[in-house]
């Protein structure tokens, strides 16, 4: 299987060959779908860098789950479904952060700075947020800081704290 000519028409075959260790097959699959997947993610999340991260994560998922892919079904809908789900999760995470920042007293200037890509306000909570955080229990404070300030995924924080 490795070293055989690559069938340029069958994504499922490329994926099967990739699971057998054929790196050129996976590279062909990536090359075939990366541009349209990045465009889809960028349209959904509105940020090119975040879209590229989403697509990279999607290809990692494809690589990890390649053996469970049903070759009788088309690859593209499965792959773009993964991209879409990751983009939706990113948008939900961003909306949740905005709600937390709004609830805990972040100034509108700080949100504008974050939107422009300057990360200073993400790492330094406002005085109102610091005061509110001091009133929380140590675990709640840690969870809030990991999600709202350090931008960790809620599922990761929950797993870390066993909640």
Which pLDDT score is estimated for 120? 45
The structure tokens listed for 132 are 């509110």
Percent of the chain with pLDDT over 90: 31
More confident residue, 149 or 53: 53
Q: Which pLDDT belongs to residue 104?
A: 72
Residue 84: is its pLDDT beyond 80?
yes
With bands split at pLDDT 50, 70 and 90, how would you rate the model's confidence at 155? confident
pTM: 0.59
Whether the per-residue pLDDT at 88 is higher than 90: the answer is: yes
- Rg from Cα positions in the chain: 20
- Residues 24 and 9: beta-carbon distance below 8 Å: no
- Does residue 112 surpass a pLDDT of 70? no
Mean pLDDT to the nearest integer, 22-37? 92
pLDDT at position 86 is 96
pLDDT band at 111 (very low <50, low <70, confident <90, very high): low
Over pLDDT 70: what percentage of the chain? 74
pLDDT of residue 118: 45
Residue 31 has pLDDT above 90, yes or no: yes
């Amino acid at each position: 299987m490795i070293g055989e000519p690559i069938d340029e028409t069958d994504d499922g075959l490329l994926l099967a060959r990739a699971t057998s260790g054929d790196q050129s097959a996976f590279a062909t699959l990536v090359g075939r779908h990366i541009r349209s997947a990045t465009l889809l993610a960028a349209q959904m999340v509105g940020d090119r860098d975040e879209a590229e991260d989403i697509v990279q994560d999607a290809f990692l998922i494809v690589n990890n789950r390649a053996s469970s892919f049903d070759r009788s079904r088309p690859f593209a809908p499965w792959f773009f479904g993964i991209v879409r789900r990751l983009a939706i999760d990113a948008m939900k995470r961003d909306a949740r952060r905005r709600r937390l920042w709004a609830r805990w007293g972040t100034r509108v200037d700080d949100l504008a700075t974050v939107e422009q890509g300057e990360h200073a306000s993400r790492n330094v909570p406002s005085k109102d947020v610091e005061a509110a955080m001091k009133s929380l229990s140590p675990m709640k404070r840690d969870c809030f800081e990991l999600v709202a300030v350090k931008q960790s995924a809620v599922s990761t924080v929950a797993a870390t704290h066993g909640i």
